[in-house]
Amino acid sequence: MGTEPKTLQEAIVYFSDPDNCLNYVVAKRWPNGVTCPTCGSTEVRFIPTRRLWECKAKHAKKQFSAKIGTVLEDSPIGLDKWLMTMWMVANCKNGVSSYEISRDCGVTQRTAWFMLHRVRDAMQERFSGKLSGEVEVDETFIGGKARNMHVGKRMRRITGTGGKDKTAVIGIVERGGKVRTAVVPNRKKSALQTEVRKHVEAGSALYSDALQSYNGLAGEYAHQVIDHAVAYVDGAVHTNTLENFWSLLKRGISGTYVSVEPFHLFRYLDEQAFRYNNRKATDAERFSATVEGIIGRRLTYEQVTGKLHAE
């Protein structure tokens, strides 16, 4: 089996062996030994020729693969291509386009697009606890290339207040810690303050710009405002940590992805936030965290494309 890969080049070599791919995923999926996803039994038999397991108990769906119960479930794409895609998304600073994945892994662009969305789903943070200490909040607009889009696509775009064909996004970051992002309907008080209260512990130091929507948070937070019309930094009062995050995000979106529909924007935010929040980890650790993220999640094609959201 050899040692686990630490670089892209080692990953390519390592995951070209289907046994290494399977063993890597199995070790994460079933750290205490393979169990039947239907009945939980450990009485399972491995079928090497098919790389499947079969449960010895009497019930339907006796055979199962390592992809079951993960975002990869039902995917006909091999683990080798999945793992290489995860390696690249986890470790490419500005993200990877579906065209690059298509070329590098030998799948169609449409397949690569769907794979990327599933990987982003695996990267979505399961929020636990609130941000605290010194926290910055800021908003930005993403998008705005609707004029070049097909009419049908343009119809589906969200039109929030502020930038006409742009989508409003809020970012909240704990200095030295994690960032959290959300697509918001607008930059009004209720939309922004709801997110602040959801993600920031009361009593924290909170820094924002002079946008009126943040007025009224001083009762719960040590809220200090930097008026960007006057200065960008006043001692500890600034939102530079978020400014840096926004520039990373925008470089990825405009440079790598060209255009992102508002419905899918949260996934790109999740992807960029994941890399940011794991910025101190090694490539191998970020990859490992991504593979762990696939477990216990499902994402169907309908969910990705929003067909089930057409209410």
Residues binding Zn ion (CB under 5 A): 36, 38-39, 41, 55, 57
Residue with Cβ nearer Zn ion (63 or 94): 63
φ/ψ of residue 289, rounded to 5: -65, -35
Residue with Cβ nearer Zn ion (57 or 202): 57
Residue with Cβ nearer Zn ion (8 or 39): 39
Which residue shows structure tokens 């007025």? 215
Residue with Cβ nearer Zn ion (34 or 92): 34
Shortest separation between residue 47's beta carbon and Zn ion, angstroms: 15
Residue with Cβ nearer Zn ion (56 or 93): 56
Q: In this structure, is the dihedral angle defined by the CA atoms of residues 262, 299, 11 and 283, taken in order, positive or negative? A: positive
- State the distance between the two ends of the chain, measured CA to CA, in whole angstroms: 49
Shortest separation between residue 291's beta carbon and Zn ion, angstroms: 24
Shortest separation between residue 38's beta carbon and Zn ion, angstroms: 4
Shortest separation between residue 41's beta carbon and Zn ion, angstroms: 5
Q: Specify the 3-state DSSP secondary structure of 307.
A: helix
Identify the CA nearest to 29 among candidates 87, 79, 102. Answer: 79
Residue with Cβ nearer Zn ion (73 or 139): 73
Q: Which amino acid is at 137?
A: V
User: Residue 178: which residues within 8 A CB-CB, separation 6 or more?
Assistant: 125, 131, 273, 276, 277
Shortest separation between residue 61's beta carbon and Zn ion, angstroms: 8
Three-state DSSP string of 67-135: CCCECCCCCCCCHHHHHHHHHHHHHCCCCCCHHHHHHHHCCCHHHHHHHHHHHHHHHCCCCCCCECCEE
Shortest separation between residue 55's beta carbon and Zn ion, angstroms: 3
* Pairwise CA distance, residues 271 & 249, whole Å: 9
